[in-house]
Amino acid sequence: MSITEYNAVVAQRVDVASGLMIEGMLKLLSEQGFSEQSKGRPGQVHLEKYW
Tens-level pLDDT at each residue, the chain (51 residues)? 788 888 877 777 655 545 567 777 788 888 888 888 878 877 888 777 665
What single letter denotes the amino acid at residue 10? V
Which of 27, 29, 28, 21 is closest to 49 using CA atoms? 21
Q: What per-residue confidence (pLDDT) applies to 24?
A: 77
pTM of the model: 0.49
For the chain, the structural domain boundaries read: 1-45
Q: What contacts 22, CB < 8 A, 6 or more positions away?
A: 47, 49
